[in-house]
Amino acid sequence: MGSHETETGNTLPTPATPAGRAGLDALLARPGKAVIALDFDGTLAPIVPDPEQARAHPDAVPALAVLAPKVAAVAVITGRPADVAVRHGGFAGVDGLEHLVVLGHYGAERWDAVSGEVSAPAPHPGVAAVREELPGLLDRVGAGPGTWIEDKSRAIAVHTRRAADPQAAFDALRAPLFDLAARHGLIVEPGRMVLELRPPGMDKGVALLQYVGELGAESVLYAGDDLGDLPAYAAVGELRSAGTPGLLVCSGSDEVTELREQADLVVDGPKGVVALLAGLAAHLKD
């Protein structure tokens, strides 16, 4: 994969696909009409055993603060509650991030940097039912120590990363959690040692398409790392088919390969994403 160097010394890698190169060219040609959309965990923030300890890469906010004023918008699209992503990302009250929004709960919640407020509809009733039943279910299937529940308010996630055998615990929980979700009108989104139960119609692809349409964007970059980012990849594919150029970036990991296979550009985890953002910012004129 080739690259070229900016005036400030930042290198900007060349996408491996023609569609990706067209997406990058469109972004660089008309940045004021471009949307930069980013997953949070695993993309802006390194994956850690306890999601409550996840924090954005230390260079992420500085890079975004330089880049955001030069593009139409930066959107962080995450399964987390919007306010949690804002707090863990350190996005609030930062000069230069006025063009940033956080679409939390896969777009069900929206935090806008200008207002500093979160807007959201009423939660799905199935989430409350699952919240009540889930501890008993984990006991019955013998999930064991290290398997734990993360309450995301509008979704419920079961993590196995801290279990003695994370993959075995993950595999044992798949069928019971799919059954539980179906009984309450929810779906299950598998991820990196996590199974998330959430309402249907909530995914990063829907959120991305709605936001790009709202802004009338003429190009889009999406960066993600996990299976939950595949709908956003598909959304970029839809946009490309309709004539809007797009660039798919994979925040590479050894745990998930599906995104790597579809991406136009693979970078080395969150530090690679941040380097790419800094490189873009350096390429774009004030």
Instruction: Give 141-182 pLDDT, tens digit per residue.
Output: 888 889 999 998 889 999 999 999 999 999 999 999 999 999
DSSP per-residue letters across 96-147: T-TTEEEEEGGGTEEEETTTTEEE--PPPHHHHHHHHHHHHHHHHTT--TT-
Q: Which segments of the chain does DSSP mark as H helices, in order?
A: 18-29, 60-67, 82-89, 125-140, 166-183, 204-215, 230-241, 258-262, 269-283
3-state class of 266 per DSSP? strand
pLDDT at site 9: 44
Structure tokens at 42: 């695993």
Decide if pLDDT at 10 tops 80: no
Rounded CA separation 9/198 (Å): 44
144 CB-near residues (< 8 Å, 6+ apart): 163, 164, 169
The CATH code for residues 18-121+202-283 is 3.40.50.1000
11 φ, ψ (degrees, to nearest 5): -95, 145
3-state class of 248 per DSSP? strand
Q: pTM for the complete prediction?
A: 0.79
Q: CA dist 63 to 59, 72, 73, 223, 284, Å?
A: 6, 16, 14, 15, 13
Decide if pLDDT at 71 tops 50: yes
Nearest CA among 223, 282, 273, 285 for reference residue 61: 273
Provide the CATH topology of domain 125-198.
Answer: 3.30.1240
Rounded CA separation 282/127 (Å): 44
For the chain, which residues make up each domain, given as ranges? 18-121+202-283, 125-198
pLDDT at site 46: 95
Instruction: Give 199-256 pLDDT, tens digit per residue.
Output: 988 899 999 999 999 999 999 999 999 999 999 999 999 999 999 999 999 998 777 7
Instruction: Give 76-128 pLDDT, tens digit per residue.
Output: 999 999 999 999 999 999 999 999 999 998 998 999 999 999 998 788 899 99
pLDDT at site 4: 46
Q: In the predicted model, what is the mean pLDDT of residues 257-282?
A: 95
Phi-psi group of 284: left, alpha or beta (phi > 0 → left; psi -120 to 50 → alpha; rest → beta)? beta
Return the CA Rg of the chain.
Answer: 19
